[in-house]
Structure 1
């Protein structure tokens, strides 16, 4: 939802290029990218696979990394909500 909302507001897809700008802008994008990164990784992998004939092992590894990242970021949110006794 974050990456799609970003794309609707910014009229361009979310990417890791914001980190290359440096300064306060790069630091401001870090919290967003922590949660949007799994979507960006899978989107980039699917795009690359569509235009290039890569091996399926690379796609599987990228999908596992994105899935694990997504699970861990969700776990961090639940831990924070429990710490503030909101759940």
Structure 2
């Protein structure tokens, strides 16, 4: 039972990381610049869209910035571990939301058939 729980936890974290990475790559393709935690303030619709992208692509942003800071600035390994833990927890929450949403949608579709 414990092995299944560990597998499920890792699966949910991976779902969160992959979805954050896909969304971050889509943002970069759309805007021709990498996604970051900076939010456009020129209009409110752009700000809402940027906040939504930051919420769902947060683990990707954290890990990209962490790995770049380690390579370029030579940040200590403990800093990388702490940032990775934060990104993993955020990814778990995001993955749990996505997996739960997928299960609810499939259950509602199968009940209608």
- Do the two structures share a fold, i.e. TM-score over 0.5? yes
1:31-50 equivalences under 5 Å are: 31-50=52-71
**TM-score, structure 2 length as denominator?**
0.65
Distance 1:28 1:9, change over 3 A: closer
1:16-35 equivalences under 5 Å are: 16-18=37-39, 21=41, 23-35=44-56
**2:94 counterpart of 1:73:** yes
Instruction: Indicate the structure whose relative CO is greater, using CA pairs within 8 Å and at least 6 residues apart.
Output: 2
**2:84 counterpart of 1:63:** yes
State the structure with more CA Rg: 2
How far has the Cα of 1:8 moved from its partner? 1.5
**TM-score, structure 1 length as denominator?**
0.82
Q: Provide Cα deviations, 1:15-35, integer angstroms capped at 9, x if missing partner.
A: 1112x5273322222222222
Residues in 1 aligned to 2:46 and 2:29: alpha-carbon distance in whole angstroms? 19
Unaligned stretches of 5+ in structure 1? none
Unaligned stretches of 5+ in structure 2? 1-21
Q: Provide Cα deviations, 1:33-70, integer angstroms capped at 9, x if missing partner.
A: 22211010011111111121221101001011111111
**2:74 counterpart of 1:53:** yes
Number of residue pairs matched by the alignment: 86
Aligned-residue CA RMSD (Å): 2.0
Residues in 2 aligned to 1:4 and 1:80: alpha-carbon distance in whole angstroms? 22
